[in-house]
Chain A
Amino acid sequence: MAIRKRFSPLPGFGLSLGYTIFYLSVIVLIPLSAVGAKTIGMGWEAFWAAASNPRVVASYELSFGASLLAAAINVVFGLIFAWVLVRYRFPGKGLVDALVDLPFALPTAVAGIALATIYAENGPIGSLLKPHGIEVAYNPNGVLLALVFIGLPFVVRTVQPVLADLEKEVEEAAAGLGASRWQTFVKVILPHVTPALLTGFAMAFARAVGEYGSVIFIAGNVPMVSEITPLMIITKLEQYDYAGATAVASVMLIFSFILLLVINALQGWMQNRYSKGA
Protein backbone atom coordinates (compact mmCIF):
# COMPACT_ATOMS: atom_id res chain seq x y z
CA MET A 1 0.00 0.00 0.00
CA ALA A 2 1.69 3.15 -1.18
CA ILE A 3 0.58 6.32 0.50
CA ARG A 4 1.32 9.38 -1.55
CA LYS A 5 2.42 12.30 0.46
CA ARG A 6 3.34 15.81 -0.43
CA PHE A 7 7.04 16.40 -0.91
CA SER A 8 8.94 17.29 2.22
CA PRO A 9 12.64 17.80 2.79
CA LEU A 10 12.36 16.09 6.18
CA PRO A 11 13.41 12.46 6.47
CA GLY A 12 11.77 9.48 8.08
CA PHE A 13 8.27 9.54 6.67
CA GLY A 14 8.20 5.95 5.45
CA LEU A 15 9.77 4.59 8.60
CA SER A 16 7.63 6.51 11.08
CA LEU A 17 4.33 6.02 9.27
CA GLY A 18 5.10 2.39 8.56
CA TYR A 19 5.84 1.71 12.19
CA THR A 20 2.77 3.68 13.30
CA ILE A 21 0.44 1.65 11.10
CA PHE A 22 2.11 -1.64 12.01
CA TYR A 23 1.94 -1.01 15.75
CA LEU A 24 -1.60 0.35 15.52
CA SER A 25 -2.69 -2.77 13.66
CA VAL A 26 -1.02 -5.22 16.01
CA ILE A 27 -2.09 -3.59 19.27
CA VAL A 28 -5.45 -2.05 18.42
CA LEU A 29 -7.03 -2.87 15.08
CA ILE A 30 -6.52 -6.64 14.86
CA PRO A 31 -7.54 -7.32 18.49
CA LEU A 32 -10.60 -5.07 18.17
CA SER A 33 -11.64 -6.76 14.95
CA ALA A 34 -11.84 -10.00 16.92
CA VAL A 35 -14.99 -8.64 18.59
CA GLY A 36 -16.55 -7.94 15.19
CA ALA A 37 -15.55 -11.31 13.80
CA LYS A 38 -16.83 -13.20 16.81
CA THR A 39 -20.12 -11.29 16.74
CA ILE A 40 -20.70 -11.98 13.05
CA GLY A 41 -19.68 -15.59 13.59
CA MET A 42 -22.32 -16.25 16.24
CA GLY A 43 -25.27 -15.39 14.01
CA TRP A 44 -28.08 -12.93 14.54
CA GLU A 45 -30.25 -15.04 16.82
CA ALA A 46 -27.56 -15.93 19.28
CA PHE A 47 -26.45 -12.29 19.28
CA TRP A 48 -29.93 -10.99 19.91
CA ALA A 49 -30.61 -13.53 22.63
CA ALA A 50 -27.48 -12.49 24.50
CA ALA A 51 -27.77 -8.77 23.88
CA SER A 52 -31.46 -8.51 24.78
CA ASN A 53 -31.51 -10.74 27.83
CA PRO A 54 -33.58 -8.90 30.49
CA ARG A 55 -30.72 -8.74 32.98
CA VAL A 56 -28.50 -7.23 30.29
CA VAL A 57 -31.19 -4.78 29.24
CA ALA A 58 -31.55 -3.69 32.87
CA SER A 59 -27.81 -3.07 32.92
CA TYR A 60 -28.05 -0.91 29.76
CA GLU A 61 -30.74 1.15 31.43
CA LEU A 62 -28.64 1.67 34.51
CA SER A 63 -25.34 2.29 32.68
CA PHE A 64 -26.71 4.69 30.12
CA GLY A 65 -29.17 6.39 32.45
CA ALA A 66 -26.71 6.93 35.28
CA SER A 67 -24.01 8.03 32.81
CA LEU A 68 -26.30 10.62 31.23
CA LEU A 69 -27.32 11.95 34.60
CA ALA A 70 -23.73 12.00 35.85
CA ALA A 71 -22.55 13.85 32.74
CA ALA A 72 -25.33 16.40 33.19
CA ILE A 73 -24.34 16.95 36.82
CA ASN A 74 -20.75 17.32 35.69
CA VAL A 75 -21.72 20.00 33.19
CA VAL A 76 -23.17 22.14 35.99
CA PHE A 77 -20.39 21.60 38.51
CA GLY A 78 -17.69 21.48 35.86
CA LEU A 79 -18.71 24.91 34.62
CA ILE A 80 -18.69 26.28 38.17
CA PHE A 81 -15.22 24.79 38.77
CA ALA A 82 -13.85 26.15 35.51
CA TRP A 83 -15.38 29.54 36.21
CA VAL A 84 -14.01 29.76 39.73
CA LEU A 85 -10.56 28.59 38.64
CA VAL A 86 -10.32 31.04 35.76
CA ARG A 87 -11.95 34.09 37.32
CA TYR A 88 -11.36 34.14 41.04
CA ARG A 89 -8.48 34.07 43.41
CA PHE A 90 -8.98 32.21 46.67
CA PRO A 91 -6.82 30.33 49.15
CA GLY A 92 -6.05 26.77 48.06
CA LYS A 93 -6.73 27.51 44.44
CA GLY A 94 -3.49 25.91 43.25
CA LEU A 95 -4.38 22.73 45.13
CA VAL A 96 -7.89 22.65 43.70
CA ASP A 97 -6.58 23.19 40.19
CA ALA A 98 -4.10 20.35 40.53
CA LEU A 99 -6.47 17.91 42.25
CA VAL A 100 -9.29 18.37 39.73
CA ASP A 101 -7.41 15.78 37.70
CA LEU A 102 -7.36 13.31 40.58
CA PRO A 103 -10.02 11.07 38.97
CA PHE A 104 -7.66 10.70 35.99
CA ALA A 105 -4.64 9.95 38.08
CA LEU A 106 -6.10 7.85 40.88
CA PRO A 107 -6.38 4.19 39.89
CA THR A 108 -10.06 3.36 39.55
CA ALA A 109 -9.95 0.49 42.02
CA VAL A 110 -8.58 2.83 44.68
CA ALA A 111 -11.26 5.40 43.94
CA GLY A 112 -13.84 2.64 44.10
CA ILE A 113 -12.93 1.31 47.54
CA ALA A 114 -12.45 4.82 48.89
CA LEU A 115 -15.89 5.99 47.74
CA ALA A 116 -17.49 2.78 48.99
CA THR A 117 -15.90 3.25 52.40
CA ILE A 118 -16.92 6.89 52.77
CA TYR A 119 -20.48 6.51 51.57
CA ALA A 120 -21.29 3.15 53.14
CA GLU A 121 -23.86 3.48 55.87
CA ASN A 122 -21.20 3.24 58.55
CA GLY A 123 -18.80 5.51 56.67
CA PRO A 124 -18.13 9.16 57.58
CA ILE A 125 -20.55 10.63 55.04
CA GLY A 126 -22.87 7.68 54.66
CA SER A 127 -23.63 7.70 58.37
CA LEU A 128 -24.58 11.38 58.16
CA LEU A 129 -26.97 10.76 55.29
CA LYS A 130 -28.53 7.60 56.68
CA PRO A 131 -30.79 9.35 59.28
CA HIS A 132 -32.24 11.43 56.44
CA GLY A 133 -33.24 8.29 54.60
CA ILE A 134 -30.56 8.73 51.94
CA GLU A 135 -28.61 5.62 51.09
CA VAL A 136 -25.85 6.10 48.62
CA ALA A 137 -23.75 2.95 48.61
CA TYR A 138 -24.72 -0.45 47.22
CA ASN A 139 -27.57 0.77 45.03
CA PRO A 140 -27.93 2.80 41.80
CA ASN A 141 -27.12 6.00 43.72
CA GLY A 142 -23.65 4.63 44.28
CA VAL A 143 -23.23 4.07 40.56
CA LEU A 144 -24.22 7.67 39.91
CA LEU A 145 -21.85 8.95 42.59
CA ALA A 146 -18.85 7.06 41.18
CA LEU A 147 -19.65 8.25 37.67
CA VAL A 148 -19.87 11.88 38.78
CA PHE A 149 -16.46 11.47 40.39
CA ILE A 150 -14.89 9.95 37.32
CA GLY A 151 -16.36 12.46 34.83
CA LEU A 152 -15.70 15.79 36.51
CA PRO A 153 -12.26 16.57 34.98
CA PHE A 154 -13.55 16.12 31.42
CA VAL A 155 -15.88 19.09 31.66
CA VAL A 156 -13.55 21.27 33.75
CA ARG A 157 -10.57 20.74 31.46
CA THR A 158 -12.44 21.33 28.22
CA VAL A 159 -14.21 24.44 29.45
CA GLN A 160 -11.35 26.01 31.41
CA PRO A 161 -9.10 27.05 28.48
CA VAL A 162 -12.08 28.25 26.45
CA LEU A 163 -13.28 30.39 29.30
CA ALA A 164 -9.77 31.76 29.81
CA ASP A 165 -9.54 32.62 26.12
CA LEU A 166 -12.69 34.70 26.10
CA GLU A 167 -11.46 38.24 25.68
CA LYS A 168 -12.38 40.55 28.45
CA GLU A 169 -13.14 43.24 25.88
CA VAL A 170 -16.12 41.24 24.68
CA GLU A 171 -17.65 41.29 28.13
CA GLU A 172 -16.79 44.94 28.56
CA ALA A 173 -18.43 45.68 25.23
CA ALA A 174 -21.58 43.90 26.39
CA ALA A 175 -21.55 45.85 29.63
CA GLY A 176 -20.97 49.05 27.70
CA LEU A 177 -24.02 48.29 25.57
CA GLY A 178 -26.11 48.14 28.73
CA ALA A 179 -26.20 44.41 29.48
CA SER A 180 -26.40 43.34 33.09
CA ARG A 181 -23.85 40.85 34.37
CA TRP A 182 -26.40 38.06 34.15
CA GLN A 183 -27.40 39.05 30.61
CA THR A 184 -23.76 39.11 29.61
CA PHE A 185 -23.34 35.64 31.04
CA VAL A 186 -26.40 34.20 29.28
CA LYS A 187 -26.03 35.97 25.95
CA VAL A 188 -22.26 36.27 25.56
CA ILE A 189 -20.30 33.92 27.79
CA LEU A 190 -22.56 30.88 27.74
CA PRO A 191 -22.84 30.68 23.92
CA HIS A 192 -19.06 30.99 23.77
CA VAL A 193 -18.49 27.99 26.03
CA THR A 194 -21.39 25.87 24.76
CA PRO A 195 -19.35 23.78 22.30
CA ALA A 196 -16.82 23.09 25.04
CA LEU A 197 -19.56 22.16 27.50
CA LEU A 198 -21.11 19.77 25.00
CA THR A 199 -17.74 18.22 24.22
CA GLY A 200 -17.01 17.78 27.90
CA PHE A 201 -20.48 16.31 28.42
CA ALA A 202 -19.99 13.78 25.61
CA MET A 203 -16.54 12.81 26.90
CA ALA A 204 -17.75 12.37 30.47
CA PHE A 205 -20.72 10.36 29.20
CA ALA A 206 -18.57 8.09 27.05
CA ARG A 207 -16.12 7.47 29.86
CA ALA A 208 -18.93 6.79 32.34
CA VAL A 209 -20.62 4.18 30.18
CA GLY A 210 -17.44 2.11 29.99
CA GLU A 211 -16.26 2.71 33.55
CA TYR A 212 -15.73 -0.37 35.68
CA GLY A 213 -13.23 -0.12 38.52
CA SER A 214 -14.60 2.82 40.46
CA VAL A 215 -18.19 1.62 40.16
CA ILE A 216 -18.24 -2.05 41.10
CA PHE A 217 -17.15 -1.56 44.69
CA ILE A 218 -19.94 0.87 45.51
CA ALA A 219 -22.68 -0.44 43.20
CA GLY A 220 -23.69 -3.48 45.22
CA ASN A 221 -24.07 -5.36 41.93
CA VAL A 222 -27.61 -6.58 42.56
CA PRO A 223 -28.98 -8.31 39.42
CA MET A 224 -31.64 -6.25 37.62
CA VAL A 225 -31.00 -3.34 39.99
CA SER A 226 -27.44 -2.16 40.23
CA GLU A 227 -25.44 -4.14 37.68
CA ILE A 228 -23.61 -2.03 35.09
CA THR A 229 -23.04 -3.28 31.56
CA PRO A 230 -19.25 -3.78 31.84
CA LEU A 231 -19.94 -6.01 34.83
CA MET A 232 -22.29 -8.11 32.67
CA ILE A 233 -19.39 -8.74 30.29
CA ILE A 234 -17.20 -9.88 33.17
CA THR A 235 -19.97 -12.06 34.59
CA LYS A 236 -20.47 -13.78 31.26
CA LEU A 237 -16.73 -14.26 30.86
CA GLU A 238 -16.51 -15.87 34.27
CA GLN A 239 -19.19 -18.31 33.14
CA TYR A 240 -17.10 -19.00 30.00
CA ASP A 241 -19.95 -17.54 27.93
CA TYR A 242 -17.56 -15.88 25.45
CA ALA A 243 -20.28 -15.41 22.84
CA GLY A 244 -22.58 -13.68 25.29
CA ALA A 245 -19.79 -11.43 26.54
CA THR A 246 -18.87 -10.54 22.97
CA ALA A 247 -22.46 -9.73 22.05
CA VAL A 248 -22.81 -7.27 24.93
CA ALA A 249 -19.36 -5.88 24.16
CA SER A 250 -20.23 -5.21 20.54
CA VAL A 251 -23.37 -3.32 21.59
CA MET A 252 -21.17 -1.13 23.78
CA LEU A 253 -18.53 -0.76 21.08
CA ILE A 254 -21.02 0.39 18.47
CA PHE A 255 -22.31 2.90 20.95
CA SER A 256 -18.77 4.07 21.79
CA PHE A 257 -17.89 4.53 18.13
CA ILE A 258 -21.00 6.60 17.53
CA LEU A 259 -20.07 8.74 20.53
CA LEU A 260 -16.52 9.00 19.22
CA LEU A 261 -17.85 10.38 15.94
CA VAL A 262 -20.08 12.81 17.80
CA ILE A 263 -17.15 13.98 19.90
CA ASN A 264 -14.95 14.38 16.83
CA ALA A 265 -17.66 16.45 15.19
CA LEU A 266 -18.02 18.55 18.34
CA GLN A 267 -14.29 19.11 18.50
CA GLY A 268 -14.30 20.14 14.85
CA TRP A 269 -17.01 22.61 15.71
CA MET A 270 -14.98 23.87 18.65
CA GLN A 271 -11.90 24.34 16.54
CA ASN A 272 -13.84 26.31 13.94
CA ARG A 273 -15.54 28.38 16.54
CA TYR A 274 -12.49 29.23 18.57
CA SER A 275 -9.90 29.59 15.84
CA LYS A 276 -11.83 32.25 13.95
CA GLY A 277 -11.28 34.52 16.91
CA ALA A 278 -14.74 35.01 18.32
Chain B
Amino acid sequence: MSATIALQPGALERHETPTTREPAWVKVLLIGIALTFFTVFLLFPLFAVFIEAFRKGWGTYLAALSSQDALAAIRLTLLTAAIAVPLNLVFGVAAAWSIAKFEFPGKRLLITLIDLPFSVSPVISGLIYVLLFGAQGWFGEWFAAHDIKILFAVPGIVLATVFVTFPFVARELIPLMEAQGSEEEEAAVVLGASGWQVFWHTTLPNIKWGLLYGVILCNARAMGEFGAVSVVSGHIRGMTNTMPLHVEILYNEYNYAAAFAVASLLALLAIVTLGLKTLVERQTRKQQTESLALENAS
Protein backbone atom coordinates (compact mmCIF):
# COMPACT_ATOMS: atom_id res chain seq x y z
CA MET B 1 0.00 0.00 0.00
CA SER B 2 1.18 3.48 -0.50
CA ALA B 3 0.89 6.75 1.23
CA THR B 4 2.13 8.16 -1.99
CA ILE B 5 1.73 7.75 -5.67
CA ALA B 6 3.94 5.87 -8.03
CA LEU B 7 5.62 7.87 -10.72
CA GLN B 8 3.10 8.18 -13.52
CA PRO B 9 4.46 6.83 -16.78
CA GLY B 10 3.10 7.72 -20.14
CA ALA B 11 0.95 10.63 -21.13
CA LEU B 12 -2.24 10.72 -19.15
CA GLU B 13 -4.35 12.32 -21.78
CA ARG B 14 -6.12 10.99 -24.81
CA HIS B 15 -7.25 12.44 -28.02
CA GLU B 16 -11.02 12.05 -28.34
CA THR B 17 -13.09 11.40 -31.41
CA PRO B 18 -16.84 12.03 -31.83
CA THR B 19 -17.76 8.47 -30.85
CA THR B 20 -15.87 8.67 -27.58
CA ARG B 21 -17.19 12.04 -26.59
CA GLU B 22 -19.99 12.83 -24.17
CA PRO B 23 -22.68 15.44 -24.75
CA ALA B 24 -21.44 18.93 -23.94
CA TRP B 25 -23.64 19.33 -20.87
CA VAL B 26 -22.21 16.16 -19.31
CA LYS B 27 -18.74 17.43 -19.89
CA VAL B 28 -19.51 20.84 -18.40
CA LEU B 29 -21.25 19.24 -15.43
CA LEU B 30 -18.36 16.90 -14.67
CA ILE B 31 -15.74 19.62 -15.01
CA GLY B 32 -17.93 21.81 -12.82
CA ILE B 33 -18.17 19.20 -10.08
CA ALA B 34 -14.44 18.55 -10.19
CA LEU B 35 -13.54 22.24 -10.09
CA THR B 36 -15.95 22.98 -7.24
CA PHE B 37 -14.62 20.09 -5.20
CA PHE B 38 -11.09 21.16 -6.07
CA THR B 39 -11.73 24.73 -4.96
CA VAL B 40 -13.52 23.91 -1.74
CA PHE B 41 -11.35 21.03 -0.60
CA LEU B 42 -7.90 21.77 -1.96
CA LEU B 43 -7.55 25.38 -3.00
CA PHE B 44 -9.34 27.00 -0.02
CA PRO B 45 -7.28 25.30 2.66
CA LEU B 46 -4.09 26.23 0.85
CA PHE B 47 -5.12 29.87 0.49
CA ALA B 48 -6.40 29.94 4.05
CA VAL B 49 -2.94 29.12 5.35
CA PHE B 50 -1.39 32.17 3.68
CA ILE B 51 -4.31 34.50 4.38
CA GLU B 52 -4.29 33.65 8.08
CA ALA B 53 -0.51 33.91 8.19
CA PHE B 54 -0.57 37.48 6.86
CA ARG B 55 -3.79 38.59 8.56
CA LYS B 56 -1.86 40.69 11.03
CA GLY B 57 0.66 41.96 8.53
CA TRP B 58 4.27 41.36 7.62
CA GLY B 59 5.63 42.49 10.94
CA THR B 60 3.79 39.86 12.94
CA TYR B 61 4.60 37.27 10.29
CA LEU B 62 8.33 37.89 10.40
CA ALA B 63 8.32 38.16 14.17
CA ALA B 64 6.61 34.77 14.43
CA LEU B 65 9.18 33.19 12.15
CA SER B 66 12.19 34.77 13.79
CA SER B 67 11.28 33.91 17.35
CA GLN B 68 13.80 31.70 19.14
CA ASP B 69 11.39 28.77 19.33
CA ALA B 70 10.43 28.98 15.69
CA LEU B 71 14.05 29.08 14.59
CA ALA B 72 14.83 26.09 16.81
CA ALA B 73 11.91 24.20 15.30
CA ILE B 74 13.09 25.00 11.79
CA ARG B 75 16.60 23.86 12.63
CA LEU B 76 15.37 20.60 14.14
CA THR B 77 13.12 19.90 11.15
CA LEU B 78 16.00 20.47 8.73
CA LEU B 79 18.32 18.31 10.82
CA THR B 80 15.80 15.49 11.01
CA ALA B 81 15.26 15.49 7.26
CA ALA B 82 19.01 15.74 6.65
CA ILE B 83 19.49 12.49 8.56
CA ALA B 84 16.37 10.56 7.59
CA VAL B 85 16.42 11.21 3.84
CA PRO B 86 20.00 10.04 3.13
CA LEU B 87 19.51 6.95 5.30
CA ASN B 88 16.39 5.95 3.42
CA LEU B 89 17.99 6.88 0.12
CA VAL B 90 20.85 4.43 0.65
CA PHE B 91 18.42 1.81 1.84
CA GLY B 92 16.11 2.38 -1.13
CA VAL B 93 18.91 1.92 -3.65
CA ALA B 94 20.21 -1.21 -1.91
CA ALA B 95 16.74 -2.72 -1.65
CA ALA B 96 15.85 -1.93 -5.26
CA TRP B 97 19.15 -3.32 -6.52
CA SER B 98 18.72 -6.64 -4.73
CA ILE B 99 15.04 -6.96 -5.57
CA ALA B 100 15.01 -5.76 -9.17
CA LYS B 101 18.25 -7.27 -10.44
CA PHE B 102 18.18 -10.70 -8.81
CA GLU B 103 15.84 -13.64 -8.46
CA PHE B 104 15.49 -15.16 -5.01
CA PRO B 105 12.77 -16.79 -2.95
CA GLY B 106 10.81 -14.56 -0.59
CA LYS B 107 11.06 -11.50 -2.80
CA ARG B 108 7.35 -10.62 -2.76
CA LEU B 109 7.29 -10.94 1.02
CA LEU B 110 10.24 -8.60 1.27
CA ILE B 111 8.47 -5.99 -0.86
CA THR B 112 5.38 -6.24 1.34
CA LEU B 113 7.49 -5.80 4.47
CA ILE B 114 9.18 -2.73 3.00
CA ASP B 115 5.73 -1.18 2.47
CA LEU B 116 4.72 -1.94 6.04
CA PRO B 117 5.38 1.52 7.54
CA PHE B 118 2.85 3.03 5.13
CA SER B 119 0.06 0.91 6.53
CA VAL B 120 0.84 1.73 10.15
CA SER B 121 -0.88 4.71 11.73
CA PRO B 122 1.61 7.51 12.42
CA VAL B 123 0.62 7.40 16.07
CA ILE B 124 1.61 3.74 16.27
CA SER B 125 4.87 4.54 14.50
CA GLY B 126 5.65 6.75 17.46
CA LEU B 127 4.29 4.32 20.01
CA ILE B 128 6.68 1.53 19.00
CA TYR B 129 9.68 3.68 19.92
CA VAL B 130 8.07 4.52 23.26
CA LEU B 131 7.75 0.78 23.87
CA LEU B 132 11.40 0.24 22.90
CA PHE B 133 13.08 3.18 24.58
CA GLY B 134 10.58 4.24 27.24
CA ALA B 135 11.38 3.82 30.91
CA GLN B 136 9.94 0.29 30.92
CA GLY B 137 10.93 -0.45 27.33
CA TRP B 138 13.20 -3.20 25.98
CA PHE B 139 16.25 -0.98 25.71
CA GLY B 140 15.05 1.80 27.99
CA GLU B 141 17.02 0.78 31.06
CA TRP B 142 20.23 0.19 29.19
CA PHE B 143 20.14 3.61 27.57
CA ALA B 144 19.09 5.26 30.82
CA ALA B 145 22.01 3.59 32.59
CA HIS B 146 24.38 4.96 29.98
CA ASP B 147 22.73 8.34 30.19
CA ILE B 148 21.65 8.34 26.55
CA LYS B 149 18.34 9.99 25.90
CA ILE B 150 16.41 8.63 22.95
CA LEU B 151 12.81 9.29 23.82
CA PHE B 152 11.65 12.89 24.20
CA ALA B 153 14.90 13.88 22.56
CA VAL B 154 16.28 14.38 19.06
CA PRO B 155 17.26 10.71 18.42
CA GLY B 156 13.67 9.59 19.01
CA ILE B 157 12.35 12.20 16.59
CA VAL B 158 14.84 11.11 13.96
CA LEU B 159 14.01 7.42 14.46
CA ALA B 160 10.27 7.98 14.18
CA THR B 161 10.81 10.08 11.05
CA VAL B 162 13.05 7.42 9.50
CA PHE B 163 10.30 4.88 10.18
CA VAL B 164 7.47 6.82 8.54
CA THR B 165 9.56 7.78 5.50
CA PHE B 166 11.20 4.36 5.23
CA PRO B 167 9.55 3.05 2.02
CA PHE B 168 9.53 6.22 -0.11
CA VAL B 169 12.70 5.80 -2.16
CA ALA B 170 12.56 2.01 -2.31
CA ARG B 171 9.02 1.89 -3.63
CA GLU B 172 9.79 4.35 -6.41
CA LEU B 173 12.91 2.50 -7.50
CA ILE B 174 11.77 -1.12 -7.30
CA PRO B 175 9.14 -1.02 -10.06
CA LEU B 176 11.29 1.33 -12.13
CA MET B 177 14.35 -0.91 -12.03
CA GLU B 178 12.27 -4.04 -12.54
CA ALA B 179 10.79 -2.53 -15.68
CA GLN B 180 14.21 -1.55 -16.98
CA GLY B 181 15.59 -5.08 -16.73
CA SER B 182 19.27 -5.93 -16.54
CA GLU B 183 20.41 -5.96 -20.15
CA GLU B 184 22.37 -2.71 -19.99
CA GLU B 185 24.05 -3.80 -16.77
CA GLU B 186 24.92 -7.15 -18.32
CA ALA B 187 26.34 -5.40 -21.35
CA ALA B 188 28.52 -3.31 -19.06
CA VAL B 189 29.73 -6.38 -17.19
CA VAL B 190 30.63 -8.18 -20.42
CA LEU B 191 32.61 -5.10 -21.42
CA GLY B 192 34.60 -5.45 -18.22
CA ALA B 193 32.99 -2.91 -15.89
CA SER B 194 33.36 -3.46 -12.15
CA GLY B 195 30.42 -3.43 -9.75
CA TRP B 196 30.67 0.29 -9.01
CA GLN B 197 31.22 1.15 -12.64
CA VAL B 198 28.12 -0.80 -13.61
CA PHE B 199 26.02 1.06 -11.06
CA TRP B 200 27.55 4.45 -11.68
CA HIS B 201 27.62 4.40 -15.49
CA THR B 202 24.55 2.37 -16.43
CA THR B 203 22.07 2.03 -13.56
CA LEU B 204 22.24 5.48 -11.99
CA PRO B 205 21.73 7.49 -15.19
CA ASN B 206 18.63 5.39 -15.90
CA ILE B 207 17.06 5.77 -12.47
CA LYS B 208 18.07 9.32 -11.61
CA TRP B 209 14.61 10.84 -12.11
CA GLY B 210 12.86 8.11 -10.17
CA LEU B 211 15.43 8.50 -7.44
CA LEU B 212 14.90 12.24 -7.29
CA TYR B 213 11.16 11.71 -7.18
CA GLY B 214 11.45 9.36 -4.23
CA VAL B 215 13.78 11.77 -2.42
CA ILE B 216 11.40 14.71 -2.94
CA LEU B 217 8.44 12.79 -1.50
CA CYS B 218 10.56 11.35 1.29
CA ASN B 219 11.77 14.82 2.22
CA ALA B 220 8.28 16.31 2.21
CA ARG B 221 7.03 13.65 4.57
CA ALA B 222 10.13 13.86 6.77
CA MET B 223 9.68 17.59 7.26
CA GLY B 224 5.92 17.44 7.63
CA GLU B 225 5.44 14.37 9.83
CA PHE B 226 3.23 15.12 12.78
CA GLY B 227 1.61 12.12 14.47
CA ALA B 228 4.64 9.91 14.97
CA VAL B 229 6.91 12.74 16.00
CA SER B 230 4.26 14.11 18.35
CA VAL B 231 4.31 10.85 20.33
CA VAL B 232 8.07 10.65 20.82
CA SER B 233 8.93 14.33 21.08
CA GLY B 234 7.71 15.35 24.50
CA HIS B 235 7.01 18.82 23.09
CA ILE B 236 9.86 20.62 24.76
CA ARG B 237 9.93 24.07 23.27
CA GLY B 238 13.16 25.09 21.64
CA MET B 239 14.48 21.54 22.13
CA THR B 240 12.30 18.81 20.69
CA ASN B 241 9.75 20.71 18.67
CA THR B 242 9.73 20.28 14.95
CA MET B 243 7.89 22.75 12.76
CA PRO B 244 4.59 20.82 12.66
CA LEU B 245 4.70 20.40 16.45
CA HIS B 246 5.43 24.08 16.88
CA VAL B 247 2.40 24.85 14.71
CA GLU B 248 0.26 22.71 17.00
CA ILE B 249 1.46 24.40 20.16
CA LEU B 250 0.93 27.90 18.79
CA TYR B 251 -2.50 26.95 17.49
CA ASN B 252 -3.58 25.46 20.81
CA GLU B 253 -2.42 28.65 22.49
CA TYR B 254 -4.79 30.56 20.17
CA ASN B 255 -1.77 32.29 18.67
CA TYR B 256 -3.26 31.77 15.21
CA ALA B 257 -1.16 34.29 13.31
CA ALA B 258 2.07 32.72 14.49
CA ALA B 259 0.77 29.19 13.98
CA PHE B 260 -0.18 29.96 10.40
CA ALA B 261 3.07 31.80 9.81
CA VAL B 262 5.05 28.65 10.57
CA ALA B 263 2.43 26.61 8.72
CA SER B 264 2.92 28.82 5.67
CA LEU B 265 6.53 27.70 5.46
CA LEU B 266 5.37 24.08 5.47
CA ALA B 267 2.71 24.89 2.86
CA LEU B 268 5.41 26.49 0.76
CA LEU B 269 7.41 23.28 1.10
CA ALA B 270 4.36 21.38 -0.15
CA ILE B 271 4.00 23.68 -3.15
CA VAL B 272 7.68 23.34 -4.03
CA THR B 273 7.37 19.58 -3.63
CA LEU B 274 4.42 19.43 -5.99
CA GLY B 275 6.20 21.69 -8.47
CA LEU B 276 9.32 19.55 -8.48
CA LYS B 277 7.20 16.46 -8.71
CA THR B 278 5.43 17.74 -11.81
CA LEU B 279 8.78 18.66 -13.30
CA VAL B 280 10.26 15.24 -12.64
CA GLU B 281 7.18 13.55 -14.03
CA ARG B 282 7.60 15.53 -17.22
CA GLN B 283 11.26 14.47 -17.44
CA THR B 284 10.41 10.81 -16.90
CA ARG B 285 7.75 10.98 -19.53
CA LYS B 286 10.30 12.37 -21.93
CA GLN B 287 12.77 9.64 -21.05
CA GLN B 288 10.05 7.06 -21.44
CA THR B 289 9.10 8.27 -24.88
CA GLU B 290 12.75 8.06 -25.86
CA SER B 291 13.22 4.56 -24.59
CA LEU B 292 9.99 3.56 -26.24
CA ALA B 293 11.43 4.88 -29.47
CA LEU B 294 14.52 2.82 -28.67
CA GLU B 295 12.51 -0.36 -28.44
CA ASN B 296 10.21 0.14 -31.39
CA ALA B 297 12.72 1.41 -33.86
CA SER B 298 14.13 -0.18 -36.89
Contact = CB atoms under 8 A, between A and B. Distances in A.
Interface of A: 3-6, 8-13, 15-17, 19-21, 23-24, 27-32, 34-35, 37-38, 77, 80-81, 83-88, 90, 92, 94, 96-111, 113-115, 117-118, 124-125, 148-149, 152-154, 157, 160-161, 164-165, 168, 171-172, 175-176, 181, 202-203, 206-207, 209-213, 217, 230-231, 233-234, 237, 242, 245-246, 249, 252-253, 256-257, 259-260, 263-264
Nearest to B46: A102
B157 interface: no
A31 B4 contact: no
B41 interface: yes
Given A10-B102, A31-B128, A164-B13, A108 B226 contact: yes
Contacts of A165: 10
Contacts, number: 336
A28 B52 contact: no
A249 to B, nearest CB: 5
B30 to A, nearest CB: 5
A212 B19 CA distance: 46
A11 to B, nearest CB: 4
A249 B127 contact: yes
A106 B23 CA distance: 36
B68 interface: no
Contacts of A161: 8-10, 12
B101 A8 contact: yes
B76 interface: no
Interface string B269-281: 1110111011000
A81 B34 contact: yes
A178 to B, nearest CB: 12
Interface string B208-251: 00000000010010011111001100000000000111011001
Given A34-B132, A164-B13, A107 B226 contact: yes
B124 A252 contact: yes
Nearest to A258: B119
Contact of A104 (B4, B91, B127, B271): B4
Residues of A contacting B: mostly: helix
A168 B17 contact: yes
Contact of A99 (B43, B138, B225, B247): B43
Interface centre among A5, A6, A27, A107 (most CB of B within 10 A): A107
A101 B115 contact: no
Contact of A260 (B1, B128, B198, B266): B1
* Interface magnitude class on chain B: 35 or more
Contacts of B137: 34
B44 A253 contact: no
B123 A212 contact: yes
Given A152-B41, A234-B231, A118 B102 contact: no
A128 to B, nearest CB: 11
A160 B45 contact: no
Interface string B97-117: 111011111100010111111
B148 interface: no
Nearest to B273: A105
Contacts of B251: 113, 217
Given A5-B102, A213-B122, A264-B112, A32 B128 contact: yes
Contacts of B132: 30-31, 34
Interface in B1-21: 1-6, 8-17, 19-20
18 contacts: A10-B195, A11-B198, A35-B124, A77-B33, A90-B35, A96-B35, A98-B274, A101-B5, A104-B5, A105-B269, A107-B226, A113-B49, A113-B259, A168-B16, A207-B3, A213-B122, A249-B123, A260-B1
